[in-house]
Chains A and B, each alone.
Chain A
Amino acid sequence: MATNEAFYKRGKTAGVFPSLSSRRDEAYMNFIEDARNLLLHAQQKPIGEYSKLLLNNAGKSMEPDPSSTMEAVELLMKDNVLKTYYRIKRTLQESFWECTYNSLNMRKNDLLQALDDAEKIGPGSVTYDPSFSIPEYATSEIHIQPGGNANEPLSGLLYDYGSKVFMGGAADNDMFADMQASTVGVPKNNKVNRILDLGCSAGVTSSALKRIYPDAEVWGIDVSSHMVRYAHARAIEQNYDINFKQMLAEELNFDNNHFDIVVANLLFHEVPVSVSKKILSETLRVLRPGGSFTLIDFPGDKTRDVYTMFFGEMDAADNGEPFLPGFVRSNVEEIMEEVGFEMSPYDPSKFILAGRIGFKPNN
């Protein structure tokens, strides 16, 4: 597509991501991605065993006990190896945003122009409102991404390339979204005419759902206009007919009983628990009876041990996730049930490769 030429001027990286502005920046990011894989992800198992040994030696029980997480933090963060691990994690995170941000900003005007141009064409559509009032919680710099999701005009591109590096290659070719989408609950009677993707960011899950249900009408909504603008441009490039709209998941502008499938992939840990409850009620409202809701996110604390809680807590802090600890402690599958979903069995050991699936009851 001609309008997207500005994004893909240097072609694509890993099949789907617009290449950065220069070879230099790409080489730099290759280094960051490999360093993350080798010095962080690959270390999780051995460093986990080492940490558990430290906890054990200090006489700390591994039983799930969320209130003692802070004690574990205090104990483990006295250790120099662990301090090094978390220092490296933070530095690499800061470096990757700095590089991505500077690289994309070199072409800022062209990229913004390309977003404007993409708005005028299909397939699919994008709708947003420049005077939309963004709730304060949605303005924080989650993942320490410069400007956050809502306040940086290039946030969609930043987020997209960031997720490539952050996932260490697992998101290449939209592989990860495809894996996640394949776990989405199939509604009762199998009829799928309309799908809603809550907190769609770059629209990667919306597109993955479109691949599974090519004839369904797919909607992706996000609080950030910058995200839906980019999601639309990315969908055009892949020739997907998807409607993206700026909207709050807790105030859905859709009729009752409208959707067969609703999905929220990694949205819930980014909102306060009080907002989660509203989103769940709204989701139930817009789902048709027998429709499925799949909430893909981190497991709750009831299924975690002290070390996993420690790891999650550190991750929340180092990665700028203010609402993650509250989310983990809320054990959201219980709230889903309270709100009125008919729950399917949920396997927390699959981490973010399996969602909590609930159906709207038939009455």
Chain B
Amino acid sequence: MTDKKSNDLEDLGKLPGFKRGNPTYFENEVIDHLISITLELGAELWVVKDRLAHVEEILSEENEISLSSLRTGKPSDLLQEQLDKERKEIIKRIYGRLYSKYGGETVDEKSAI
């Protein structure tokens, strides 16, 4: 049905992602790490911004705050909506430039489908 070569799974093994653990895509693995580090920093920064916004919301409404409401509570729908918007803007602004070579920094959000 198909030729032997194109069925050969060995080819797949040569792709960077197929190596378990820590695949590298750049000749210099430091670049791989730097990209991962910036993404991780972005995510952790977002976690702090989200937490701060949640703290502010609770304080402005109840004047009293508990650790458990921060850990396991959820912000109001209105705040969640604002956060969703801000998060997308931050991601676009910080990381979009990586794709500016072909105009990818201007694209609108899209799901997998």
Interface positions of A (Cβ within 8 A of B): 9-11, 19, 21-24, 26-28, 30-32, 34-39, 41-47, 49-50, 66-67, 69-70, 73, 77, 80-81, 83-88, 90-92, 95, 141, 144, 166-170, 176, 301, 313-314, 316-320, 322, 325-326, 329-331, 334, 351-353
A119 to B40, CA, bound (A): 39
Q: Which residues of B contact A39 (CB under 8 A)?
A: 91, 95-96, 98-99
> Contact between B112 and A30 (Cβ–Cβ < 8 Å)?
no
Q: Which residues of A contact B35 (CB under 8 A)?
A: 84, 87-88, 91
> Contact between B110 and A41 (Cβ–Cβ < 8 Å)?
yes
Task: Given A38-B91, A46-B107, decide whether A322 and B6 contact each other with a Cβ distance below 8 A.
Answer: no
> Contact between B7 and A329 (Cβ–Cβ < 8 Å)?
yes
> Contact between A30 and B87 (Cβ–Cβ < 8 Å)?
yes
Contact of A23 among B15, B74, B99, B101 (CB under 8 A): B74
A26 to B47, CA, bound (A): 9
> Contact between A38 and B109 (Cβ–Cβ < 8 Å)?
yes
Of B14, B42, B109, most A-chain CB atoms within 10 Å: B109
Contact of B26 among A83, A319, A326 (CB under 8 A): A83
Mask, B1-36, CB within 8 Å of A = 1, is 111011101011011111010010110000110011
The 9 closest A-B pairs by CB, nearest first: A318-B17, A317-B15, A27-B50, A168-B111, A317-B17, A50-B102, A170-B111, A42-B110, A42-B107
Contact of A10 among B6, B72, B96, B112 (CB under 8 A): B72
CB nearest neighbor in A for B22: A94
> Contact between A70 and B11 (Cβ–Cβ < 8 Å)?
yes
Mask, B43-81, CB within 8 Å of A = 1, is 110110011001000000000000000111111000000
A87 to B22, CA, bound (A): 11
Q: Which residues of A contact B25 (CB under 8 A)?
A: 77, 83-84, 86-87, 90
Interface positions of B (Cβ within 8 A of A): 1-3, 5-7, 9, 11-12, 14-18, 20, 23, 25-26, 31-32, 35-36, 39-40, 42-44, 46-47, 50-51, 54, 70-75, 83-84, 87-88, 91-92, 95-96, 98-99, 101-104, 107-113
CB nearest neighbor in B for A36: B112
> Contact between B17 and A38 (Cβ–Cβ < 8 Å)?
no
CB nearest neighbor in B for A54: B102
> Contact between B111 and A167 (Cβ–Cβ < 8 Å)?
yes
> Contact between A24 and B47 (Cβ–Cβ < 8 Å)?
yes
Task: Given A32-B43, A84-B35, A317-B15, decide whether A47 and B99 contact each other with a Cβ distance below 8 A.
Answer: yes
Q: Which residues of A contact B40 (CB under 8 A)?
A: 91, 95
Contact of B17 among A36, A90, A168 (CB under 8 A): A90
Task: Given A38-B91, A47-B99, A87-B35, decide whether A313 and B15 contact each other with a Cβ distance below 8 A.
Answer: yes
> Contact between A66 and B6 (Cβ–Cβ < 8 Å)?
yes
Q: Can you list 9 contacts pairing A with B, beta carbon distance less than 8 Å? A: A19-B74, A22-B71, A34-B91, A34-B109, A77-B25, A81-B98, A87-B32, A170-B111, A317-B17
- Beyond A31-B42, A66-B2, 13 additional contacts (C-beta under 8 Å) are A23-B70, A27-B51, A30-B87, A38-B92, A39-B99, A42-B107, A42-B108, A46-B99, A46-B102, A46-B107, A90-B25, A169-B111, A325-B9
* Shortest beta-carbon distance from A12 to chain B in Å: 11
Q: Which residues of A contact B102 (CB under 8 A)?
A: 46-47, 49-50, 81
> Contact between A47 and B113 (Cβ–Cβ < 8 Å)?
no
Q: Which residues of B contact A353 (CB under 8 A)?
A: 113
> Contact between B1 and A38 (Cβ–Cβ < 8 Å)?
no
A77 to B47, CA, bound (A): 33
> Contact between A38 and B70 (Cβ–Cβ < 8 Å)?
no
A84 to B105, CA, bound (A): 14
Q: Which residues of B contact A44 (CB under 8 A)?
A: 110
CB nearest neighbor in A for B95: A39
CB nearest neighbor in B for A338: B1
> Contact between B113 and A326 (Cβ–Cβ < 8 Å)?
no
A5 to B48, CA, bound (A): 28
> Contact between A167 and B112 (Cβ–Cβ < 8 Å)?
yes
